[in-house]
Chain A
Amino acid sequence: MKARYACGSSEHLMARRQFLGTLAGGAVVGGLGALTNPAVAGQIQSNQMRVVVLYLAGGVSQLESWDPKPKTDTGGPFRAIPTSVPGVHISELLPKTATHMDKLALVRSINTKNNDHGKGSYQMQYGRSQMPGTEYPHLGAVCARALERADNPLPGHIRVPGGSRGSDAAYLGPQYASVGMNGKPPANSERAGSLTEAADKLRNDFRRQANDRFSLQRRTASTDLYTQSYEQALQLMERREVFDVTKESEADMDRYGRFDLGQHCLMARRLLENGIPFVQVQHSNYDTHNENFNFHFEQLGEFDQAFSTLVGDLHDRGMLETTLVVVMSEFGRTPKINARYGRDHWGSAWSVCLGGAKIQPGAVIGKTNENGTKVIDREVEHGDLFHTYLSAVGLDSGGAFDIGGREQPMADPSHAPITELLT
């Protein structure tokens, strides 16, 4: 895998030198003690962080979830219920989630000025508006690169469900593109049946010897990368069960729910526990131009069970402090209820739920007006949120990657994190 040497800004060049220096001496990188530069230590510290995104495709209704407006012309039939944060109410469709609000936060003042699925999903996942002729990396690719850990051979950017490799890493390179997982281990990760463990060990020992000899006279960063990729592959073979969700207990499968989203969230927990920096789980069918209320009743029922179990487990296992959880869509839904009891596309005043890592627990940022038709306090957009996600996992979101001599900002430089949301 490519340069764990982090980005190439001056302080990180330092990190690269120290890393190489240590590796070249044949010593094992032994934790932070070896690295005396505080900037370097900080960078390594942030490598412990992880991100999980639940993407509710089609556009979840903020009014049936995070920003209910009961008893108004736009409110619909559902009530608002109190949560574990005094004074904060969410929709009654999320009763289990409500008990975890003290671990989560809400941003209720998003205005992305866009009502198009493709553009909205790009905005929210790439942190910028789409421009012809330019390509930016997905949040997952940025996290996979910036939170990559030298000791973890597993792919850093996982999409559940899915089977193929995405092309969503732009200039960061395909090794940070999303890998779709369906609960099965990755391709070619099982030792060929005809090969015994002993034979495999022998041939790899000879490979290493050949490399050692070659490197005596012709060693470059590229040859190092190549030889390391085999060691990563061998570790991945040993750890292929990480991707095998059937190894989880029956009881956990029940708790998360015996439906796709439930099992996918369980898979996410398994991946996060194994140090994978970015996992995105998708739940579909929120584009409710018809029968908005019936669909949300059904979909959010699944979501509430799976999501609340995941948040509860991350918390119970002490992982929430190092795991950013985000629930997002491409946009929200119109306050106005149409003639088919539906709600349409709406990017002008909607919400995102997030929590964990450095997100202030229980915070509520921004406000919409009484019937939810307008943001009236602390308007934010996708660029601000993107910065906030990165900051929440300890990254300097104003920093840049050095890609082959070109500086590429991690996030849209004209935006900044929502600082009051961060601890």
Chain B
Amino acid sequence: MSRWLHQRADDVCSLRCSVTALCVVVALAGKVAAFADAPGRPDVPPLPEPATVKQQDLPLLHPQIDALVDASLAASGVSAAEPASDGEFVRRIYLDLIGRVPGVDETREFLVDAAANTDARTQLIDRLLDSPEHVRRMQYVLDEMIMERRGGANVPDAEWKAWLRQSVADNRSWSWIANEILSADGAETEKRPPAKFYLDRDFASEVVTRDVGRVFLGVDLECAQCHDHPNIETYLQRHYYGINAFLSRSYVFTDAKSKKKMLGEKAEGEVKFTSVFTSEEGGTAPRLLDLPPIADPEGTAGEYVAKPDKTTRGVPKYSRRQQLAEQMTAPENLDFRRNIANRIWALMAGRGLVEPLDVRHAGNPAAHPELLSLLAERLRDSGDDLRWLMREIALSNAYQRSSSPIEVEASDAADAQVVQASLDEAAETSDEGSSEPAAVADFQAARIKPLSPEQLAWSVMQVLGVTDRTLAAKQAELAKKDGDAGAKKADDPVWQEQMLGEALKSNVDQFAAQFAGQGGQKTGFDATANQALFLINGSLVQGWLEPISGSLTERLLKIEDNGQLADELFLCVLGRQPNAEEAAEFQSVLGGADDRTQAVKDLIWALLASAEFRFNH
């Protein structure tokens, strides 16, 4: 029963360890937990059920966000950038909430509405959060957050994504989602999808222990596996084994009939560890970071619902893995909320309050600790409602600022130099790979965010008419097949979103293959020559530029006046009017072109391939 893991400490540790002693993990059978500091929850009100929390009953969060942000800007003597223009705002909010740029009609509609209606932004935010496309956006976001693009076939991708979609569509709370994932065993078919987190990490002990910490708590305890972390004072070996102890009794069981892998669990076994630095021995009951350890209930040791053997999946009377799910999502676990609040903030603001997202500790505190705590506490009070959190962030002035920190007087050469110098400085300090602590500058103006592979794919398809053309064709098909009933169904946004998701999936997959990083660890924004080649010469995008029916090229070619054409081109691709200089340049190309079709294609492509399109700003 004992399992020995011999490994040179320095192989494990990514830091400069010079110790070469053994790191020993002992799983001892048959000993009931007898660790001194007994559990006992502090007095914390129970978590409200998500369904019982009414958004409108919650105090508004966004004024509090702004109060904190404005105070820190004022304290540093920094003035905030101007509010984003309506044009800037509409592109940004579509990308952040539904994962694509607005169509040209949607842009126009909003610009008209915003000119007359002071609530236009709030109404748009609510409409987007309610739309089926928000479900798709969050499906991608959560999938990347939880599975980190690692693939895996134990739970098919389609089933996992369908489960994520349903969870978002039902506006399930983050604690519900985490609870389903962390307690999953994959045994029942209908409850199998959330087991993907464990099963497609092959339930490798080191991997799942580490990733429970990273994904759900925002701490990377890898180096604390063999000793207290040498550089991070607050990452202790008992933290690693505290999480490990929830999982150490579980194991992969292959069902003889279905050949499917699932998790079984034993009713006994403790974790002990030895520091390779100090040779101190320790043991721990399951515990989450510095929350109290959880002792097994009396008399549950060795007690089974189903006793494990070769053909039977072990099911203990008391499951520590189930406990992990409960403890993780318990209201007193604020680290669980800090982690997700930080990740949602990063999604909306382009940079986490803590960076890297999974290295939160005393030596790497949040850029604004008070703000992070506020978000975490209020998220808990909302019943861990992510949609509510995104809404509140979107409503804040901090989110709705312009991404241009400086007003440029282009005519003034001296000023332009000053501006360039400060932008150079900004370019330097904004390097995603740098470890410099986030500063007040983070709150001064909206950050420029690269589009995710999926945002890029859906935006290119939106702009070039692929999405609308596909929708129209499918709607016609349905109306032809099912008559009036078909036509009615074809108007249903839920049907439309699902149908488009399926019809265009292979395109999105091609973008993801090109633009997504591999593996679990993200390294910030990256742009490679291969990706550029995909957009420069790849047959997918080149094909979409052809003037076929329903394409942007075809639509633009119908406009005879060059000035109007240039205006429409900019509005369609970039969501804004051209300035005078741009309009003049485009008109002169169109006026002098021998081949008008080719000229229109080239101009569309030039804007599509520009940084202005590639980033959310």
Interface residues of B in 92-121 (CB under 8 A from A): none
Look across to chain A and name the residue whose beta carbon is closest to the beta carbon of B406: A217
Whether A3 pairs with B537 at a CB distance below 8 angstroms is no
Q: Are B532 and A232 in contact, with the CB atoms below 8 A?
A: yes
**Chain A CB within 8 A of B392 CB:** no
* Residue from the set B210, B359, B410, B602 with the largest chain A CB neighbour count within 10 Å: B602
Q: Which residue of B lies closest to A13 (CB)?
A: B434
**Are A207 and B606 neighbours in the complex by a CB distance under 8 Å?**
yes
Complex Cα distance, B529 from A228, in Å, reads: 9
Q: Given the complex of chains A and B, what is the CA–CA distance between A133 and B222 in angstroms? A: 8
Q: Which of B532, B582, B605, B606 contacts A233 (CB 8 A)?
A: B532
- Interface contact A405-B528, CB-CB below 8 Å: no
Q: Once the chains bind, are B598 and A217 in contact (CB under 8 Å)? A: no
- Contacting residues, chain B, for A211 (C-beta < 8 A): 610-612
Are A406 and B408 interface neighbours, CB within 8 A? no
Contact call A414/B585, Cβ cutoff below 8 A = no
Q: Does A403 contact B (CB under 8 A)?
A: yes
Interface string of A186-199 (1 = CB under 8 A from B): 11111110110001
Q: In the complex, are the beta carbons of B537 and A189 less than 8 A apart?
A: yes
In the complex the two chains form, what is the Cα distance from A129 to B6 in whole Å? 12
State whether B537 touches A192 (Cβ < 8 A): yes
Point out the residues of chain B lying under 8 angstroms from A312, CB to CB. none
B404 touches A191 (CB 8 A): no
- CB of A213 closer than 8 Å to a CB of B: yes
The answer to whether B521 and A132 touch across the interface, beta carbons within 8 angstroms, is no
Contact with A along B19-49 (1 / 0, CB 8 A): 0100000000000000000000000000000
Residues of B within 8 A of A203 (CB): 602-603, 605-606, 609
Q: Identify which of A173, A177, A202, A232 contacts B529 (C-beta below 8 A).
A: A232
Report the Cα distance A126→B433, complex, angstroms. 23
Smallest distance from the beta carbon of A201 to chain B beta carbons, Å? 10
* Assembled-state Cα–Cα distance A407/B220 (Å): 13
Most A-side CB within 10 Å, residue of B419, B424, B450, B523:
B523
| Cβ of B207 under 8 Å from chain A | yes
The verdict on B166 contacting chain A, using a C-beta distance below 8 Å, is no
Please, which residues of chain A bring their CB within 8 A of the CB of B403? Answer: 218
Q: How many Å lie between the Cα of A205 and that of B582 in the bound state? A: 13
Contact for A132 among B206, B520, B524, CB less than 8 A: B206
The stretch from A17-25, A78-86, A251-259, A283-291 touching chain B is A17-25
Whole-angstrom CA separation of A157 from B205 in the bound complex: 32
Are B11 and A404 interface neighbours, CB within 8 A? no
Q: What sequence of 0s and 1s flags, for each residue 387-423 of chain A, a beta carbon within 8 Å of any chain B beta carbon?
A: 0000000000000101111111100111000000000
Interface hub of B206, B408, B416, B435 (most chain A Cβ within 10 A): B435
- Across-interface contacts of A227 in B (CB, < 8 A): 611
A404 to B207, Cβ gap below 8 A?
Answer: no
Determine the residue in chain A with the shortest Cβ distance to B424.
Answer: A24
Q: Distance in Å from the Cβ of A407 to the closest Cβ of chain B? A: 7
Q: A135-B519, A172-B523 are in contact. Are A229 and B7 (CB under 8 A)?
A: no
The distance from the CB of B540 to the nearest CB of chain A, in whole angstroms, is: 10
Nearest opposing residue in chain A for B540, CB measure: A188
List residues of chain B with CB within 8 A of the CB of A213. Answer: 582
Q: Which of A344-393 contact B (CB under 8 A)?
A: none
Across the interface, B11 reaches (CB within 8 A) one of A131, A153, A209, namely: A131
Are A233 and B529 CB-contacts (below 8 A) given A226-B611, A405-B359?
yes
Q: Which residues of B contact A295 (CB under 8 A)?
A: none
**Chain A residues near B222 (CB-CB < 8 A):** 133-134
Interface of chain B residues 492 through 530 with chain A (CB within 8 A): 517-530
Q: Contact string, B435-457, partner A, CB cutoff 8 A, digits 1/0?
A: 10000000000001010000000
If A3-B431, A177-B518, A209-B585 touch, does A222 touch B450 (CB 8 Å cutoff)? Answer: yes
Q: B589 an interface residue at 8 Å Cβ cutoff?
A: yes
Kindly state whether residue A225 has any CB partner on chain B within 8 Å.
yes
- Best-buried of B424, B428, B520, B531 by chain A (most CB within 10 Å): B428
Could you say which residues of chain A place their CB within 8 Å of the CB of B602? 199, 202-203, 206
Q: Check: B15 CB closer than 8 A to any chain A CB.
A: yes
- A137 to B79 Cα, complex, angstroms: 44
Give the residue of A17, A177, A225 whose beta carbon is less than 8 angstroms from that of B527. Answer: A225
B12 to chain A, nearest CB (A): 6
Interface: A27 (CB within 8 A): no
Which A-chain residue is minimally distant from B211 (CB atoms)?
A: A133
Q: In the complex the two chains form, is B521's CB within 8 Å of A170's CB?
A: yes
Q: A211-235 CB contact bits vs B (8 Å, 1 = yes)?
A: 1011111111111111111101111
Does the CB pair B435–A171 fall under 8 Å? no
Q: Is A237 a contact of B614 with CB atoms below 8 Å?
A: no
Given contacts A133-B207, A218-B448, A210 and B612 within 8 Å (CB-CB): yes
Bound: A183/B593 CA distance, A: 40
Q: Given that A133-B204, A173-B523 are known contacts, is A214 also in contact with B536, CB under 8 Å in the complex? A: no
When chains A and B are docked, how far (Å) is the Cα of A404 from the Cα of B431?
9
User: Contacts of B536 on A, CB cut-off 8 Å?
Assistant: 188, 230, 233-234, 237
Q: Determine whether B538 belongs to the interface, using a CB cutoff of 8 Å to chain A.
A: yes
Among residues of A, the one whose C-beta sits closest to the C-beta of B410 is: A216
- Is A204's CB within 8 Å of the partner chain B? yes
Q: A173-B523, A219-B426 are in contact. Are A128 and B206 (CB under 8 A)?
A: no
| Contact residues of B between 202 and 234, Cβ < 8 Å to A | 204-207, 209-210, 222
- In the bound complex, do residue A129 and residue B16 qualify as a contact, i.e. CB atoms below 8 Å apart? no
B534 interface hit (Cβ, 8 Å): yes
Does B313 count as interface, using CB distance less than 8 angstroms? no
Task: Give the distance in Å from the alpha carbon of A414 to the alpha carbon of B10 in the complex.
Answer: 6
Find out whether the CB atom of B433 lies under 8 angstroms from the CB atom of A202. Answer: no
Interface 0/1 of B449-475, CB less than 8 Å to A: 010000000000000000000000000
Instruction: For the complex formed, measure the closest distance between the CB of B447 and the CB atoms of chain A, giving whole angstroms.
Output: 8
Enumerate chain A residues within 8 angstroms of B419, measured Cβ to Cβ: 216
Chain A hits for B206, CB < 8 A: 131-134
Contact status of A408 and B14, CB under 8 A, knowing A216-B419, A218-B617, A229-B527: yes
- Known A-B contacts A188-B534, A229-B531; A20 and B526 likewise in contact (beta carbons under 8 Å): no
Nearest CB in chain B to that of A219: its residue: B423
Closest Cβ–Cβ distance, residue B273 to chain A (whole Å): 15
In this assembly, does B427 line the interface, its C-beta being within 8 Å of a C-beta of chain A?
yes
B533 at the interface (CB under 8 A from A): yes
Is B123 positioned at the interface, with any CB of A under 8 Å from its CB?
no
List chain A residues, Cβ under 8 A from B20.
414
Alpha-carbon gap, A189 to B535, bound state (A): 11
0 or 1 for each of B261-282: is its CB under 8 Å from A? (1 = yes):
0000000000000000000000
CA distance A219 to B534 in the complex (A): 24
* Any B CB within 8 A of the CB of A174: yes
Given contacts A20-B428, A217-B404, contact A222 B448 (CB under 8 A): yes
A2 close to chain B: CB less than 8 A = yes
Contact A229:B207 (CB < 8 A) given known A20-B427, A170-B521, A406-B14: no
- CB of B17 within 8 Å of the partner chain: yes
A contact residues around B427 at 8 Å (CB): 20, 24, 219-221, 223-224
Mark each residue of chain B from 324 to 341: 1 if its CB lies under 8 Å from any CB of chain A, else 0.
000000000000000000
Within B68-112, the residues touching A (CB, 8 Å) are none
B432 within 8 A of A: yes
Residue of B nearest to A240 (CB): B533
Top-8 shortest CB links A-B: A405-B435, A133-B206, A206-B606, A233-B532, A203-B602, A229-B527, A210-B610, A414-B10
16 pairs, A vs B, C-beta closer than 8 Å = A2-B523, A172-B523, A174-B519, A174-B526, A188-B530, A199-B598, A207-B605, A216-B416, A219-B427, A220-B426, A223-B427, A233-B529, A402-B435, A404-B432, A404-B522, A405-B433
For the complex with contacts A3-B433, A414-B11, 18 further pairs of A-B residues with Cβ separation under 8 Å are A8-B434, A20-B427, A21-B424, A24-B424, A128-B11, A129-B11, A132-B206, A186-B530, A188-B538, A203-B602, A216-B410, A216-B419, A221-B432, A222-B527, A223-B614, A402-B433, A403-B523, A406-B359
A contact residues vs B (CB 8 Å cutoff): 1-3, 5, 8, 16-17, 20-21, 24, 128-129, 131-135, 153, 155, 167, 169-175, 177, 186-192, 194-195, 199, 202-207, 209-211, 213-230, 232-237, 400, 402-409, 412-414
